[in-house]
Amino acid sequence: MDLYDAINSRASVREFTEENIPDDVIERLLDAACRAPTAGNLQPWRFFVVRDKEMKSKLSRAAYGQEFVASAPVVMVVCADLEASASGYGSRGENLYAIQDTAAAIENMLLATVAEGYGACWVGAFDEGVVTDALRLPRRLRPVALIPVGRPARAPRRTGRIPYRRLTVFI
């Protein structure tokens, strides 16, 4: 799939079929995530691939009851490794680069999901403490996003965008 086709057809998917996702697809999504640029190439991220029903329910509850999280066959939890970034760049690494790097990985993953014929949604509204406890994350890992992934039950609605001309200064 052409990159622009993937960018333009990506939309948040919140309804999934029960079809499972093969491991090789998951591996390609993770590979795509890990191709993102990172400050100093520190790659300060960790991924959890959650297929376990009980854990998906915990994540859904952590996301303030967003039920579609539990309904996806796979939920990726993407975490920033704050210590890895801090080791290279101090507080700027911990507070900014770790999150930027992880966000770049997430977007790569979302686009790869489209290229694979699946759908996903970036879920950022969740209680970090609850996710941290559920996955027993060490202090250095900050959960940044839950990404439910699956085959879309229907074509997602394309949302509008503010035209870039209203947001851009050309100098």
CA distance 156 to 123: 16
Q: How far is the CB of 111 from ligand FMN (least distance, A)?
A: 12
97 touches 43 (CB < 8 A): no
- Measured from the CB atom, is 15 or 83 closer to ligand FMN? 15
Q: Does 122 bind ligand FMN (CB under 6 A)?
A: yes
Q: Does 123 bind ligand FMN (CB under 6 A)?
A: yes
Query: x/- site string to ligand FMN, residues 10 to 49, per CB under 6 A?
Result: -xx-x-----------------------------------
| Listed ranges 8-16, 25-33, 45-53, 85-93: which one lies at the site for ligand FMN (CB under 6 A) | 8-16
Q: How far is the CB of 23 from ligand FMN (least distance, A)?
A: 26
Q: Looking at 159, 164, 165, 171, which residue binds ligand FMN (CB under 6 A)?
A: 159
Q: Does 66 bind ligand FMN (CB under 6 A)?
A: yes
Sites of contact with ligand FMN (CB under 6 A): 11-12, 14, 66, 121-125, 159
